[in-house]
Structure 1
């Protein structure tokens, strides 16, 4: 079997982690990440990671086509 099998499913670009605020208890508001997420969009990042998934999803509504 070739070592090339399945490589098509691997990402070609690394995922960028764009959380600007560290995790605390209680969790800080999602809004602390808005500026960092906007910089990611401005930089045309295609893979974005965050600990605030629901907040990112709501914030992205209407920003991407």
Structure 2
């Protein structure tokens, strides 16, 4: 993951494999791009180099269709 750009646009490039273990890195890169002093007109997330993407999160099961009537 790397970040570049110019005065108007910041580009966050994501490459390789992205899973829940690397989500914090992506979040930090996006946070830095968003909060950078001076700001940018555009923030672009470039996923062209991404070869694998998987995010799983355990969720509490909601009511089933039968429970809802």
Does TM-score exceed 0.5, indicating one fold? no
TM-score, scaled relative to structure 1 = 0.39
TM-score, scaled relative to structure 2 = 0.37
Q: Which is strand-richer, 1 or 2?
A: 2
Q: Which is helix-richer, 1 or 2?
A: 1
